[in-house]
Structure 1
């Protein structure tokens, strides 16, 4: 089968498009013929080094994806060949204490597509049936694929960790990136006021057009001071961020007393000043979050059907042009997701 895979670590010179063995389906698994996937920052990390993530070489890239069921067990009752499906990329053991209590995302031996095992940038993917979900009928394959990482991550951050209420104000850093844009969409559909930040004026304008209440340009304005001005000196209830060190101080200073900050990344560094005095005096709450559980994904898919949510696709490339797609992601030029088309619907 045709696939995008890395043969080592470095730059795009280690990313190849070529033939890899088609996966063999085991008992309890589903073979999916892939139609579309989207890129995530971890694809760059796996290309560059993959340090700390156990994987072999060559290794097929890609975390999320959507496609069509090719094969299932004869006694499978929820999925059938020809069905349009979207994938949850985190494969837990189903046996550890965390899986047993329904928190598979905390599984002690979780394996992610595109990281620990071959990923979605391939004509076929094989994974447990519990990780395969019917695709929302309102979405195309690229939009559905986008739900599997960014929107699921934002869903857990907003609704499971922060437990946002409709009357609250949310501050989202780095609008234009996948998780941040997903958080904007979800928060607005939930009825929240949303303040967004970016260093790109064009991205801020697009965010305002999508329903952001206010936009702050981080290169021209002091974010925390502007937040306080916009909220009458109160601060926001919730901060959603995946930038890390470069914005951490502004994030903490932007929170109301008792406010919550949820972080899922550290692209600018992971060792910010903790500012412990502010945290305990103002009784701030800090949550770490990654991806989301299978039941959260099911809830997200139902929410998508109910509200008409449509993930934003910034651009689309065929598999043969994956180098150009990775370059766009690395340069952070996108507004939304970068899709890779794999096969025909």
Structure 2
């Protein structure tokens, strides 16, 4: 089968290769991949991978959708069923799994990180990591939900849920997770303020009716305080890291919550501890979400609560070009990989 394989670090280490088709055991499902999406972690795996237990060569790609080829010992699935992949292979037996918090599974393996991923013509996964989709589901849209939208769901509806009456600030809203968080917070009825730059992006969000702060032209915390009459934001969504961390903390209302899922610009910002305890702020880390959250996300999408924004689609062979687009400041929303 054809697959995008990471052989060594760096751009030259990623290529389209022939790989053996995966074997399927009882309780597992072999899938023909239809589509997947590009995520920031793909670049991290390409360029570093530090702290993630894995071996090379590694098939890349974390999320996606596929069609069942075979499902031995899985009575709920038959060949031809279309499914969305939960990005984790989890045990189902540890304390976290039994509590319904699969991302904290003691032996979790993430596709494209700890084991072979989704940028391939075929993938095998345990049946418990799959959710059936309607036969007429939009597979392009479904393919981009597994990482960005699931991560955003937990950030928006997790430990400090957004809702009517709350103010949510989304930093760097052009990226996949941030754009998803903006959509989900609006769906929840929250007042949403976003930061971005460039006339095209600013115009896009203003046309949606979203309040926009141009972070290149304005002091973000001052602008947030001006827009909220000195109160600040109840929830700040930040996946940028060091570059925005200080502004995110200063933009929070007293008792507010900062949720982070990324460190694109650096992982060691100032903690600003005095501000944390004086204003009684909370910081939450977030990575993807549980199976229950995934099901709720899919139901919200199926009901028309939001429509994923897809920036551009690439064929499997052009994943390296999609990686370049991910770093393009003009990119907005998700990048789709069409496989079948």
TM-score normalised over the length of structure 2: 0.96
CA apart distance, 1:279 = 1.0
Q: How many angstroms does 1:271 deviate by?
A: 1.2
Q: Structure 1, residues 101-137: CA drift from partner, whole Å, max 9, x if none?
A: 2211111221100000000000011001111112256
Taking the aligned partners of 2:135 and 2:32, their CA distance within structure 1 comes to: 18
Q: Is the 8 A contact 2:187 2:305 kept in 1?
A: no
Aligned residues of 1:175 and 1:207 also touching (Cα < 8 A):
no
Per the alignment, residue 7 of structure 1 pairs with 7
| Alignment check: 8 A CA contact 2:81 2:135 kept | no
The answer on 1:53 being equivalent to 2:49 is no
The equivalent residue for 2:215 is 218
Alpha carbons of structure 1 residues 276 and 136: separation in structure 2 relative to 1, 3 Å: farther
Q: How does 1:19-34 map to 2 (within 5 A)?
A: 19-34=18-33
For residues 56 and 17 of structure 1, the distance between their equivalents in structure 2, rounded to whole angstroms, comes to: 18
Matched, 1:241 2:238: yes
State how 1:150-229 maps to structure 2 within 5 Å.
150-212=148-210, 214-229=211-226
Corresponding residue for 1:43? 42
Aligned to 1:92: 90
Deviation at 1:303, TM superposition (A): 1.3
Q: By how many angstroms is 1:47 displaced?
A: 1.0
State the Cα RMSD in Å.
1.4
- Deviating above 3 A after TM superposition, structure 1's stretches of 4 or more consecutive aligned residues are 136-139
CA distance in 1, matches of 2:168, 2:51: 33
Give the number of equivalent residue pairs. 340
**8 Å CA contact retained: 1:69, 1:81:** yes
Q: Is the 8 A contact 1:136 1:144 kept in 2?
A: no
Residue deviations 1:156-192, cap 9 Å, x none? 0111122122221100001110000000111111111
- 1:314 is aligned to 2:311: yes
Residue ranges of structure 1 left out of the alignment (5+ in a row): none
Instruction: Output the CA distance in 2 between the equivalents of 1:136 and 1:209.
Output: 32
Q: By how many angstroms is 1:249 displaced?
A: 1.1
- 5+ unaligned residues in a row in structure 2: which ranges? none
Q: Distance in 1 between matches of 2:257 and 2:276?
A: 10
Alpha-carbon distance in 1 for matches of 2:329, 2:316: 20
Q: How much does 1:79 deviate?
A: 2.1
C-alpha distance in 2, partners of 1:221/1:53?
Answer: 38
Aligned equivalents of 2:167 and 2:201: distance in 1?
20
Q: Which moved more, 1:52-61 or 1:234-243?
A: 52-61
- CA deviations on 1:63-104 (whole Å, 9 max, x unpaired) are 010111111125x33322111111111112222221222211
SS of residue matched to 1:307: coil
Mark the CA change 1:27 to 1:339 in structure 2 (over 3 Å): closer, same or farther: same
- In structure 2, the partner of 1:103 is 101
Name the CA distance, whole Å, in 2 between partners of 1:118 and 1:47: 14
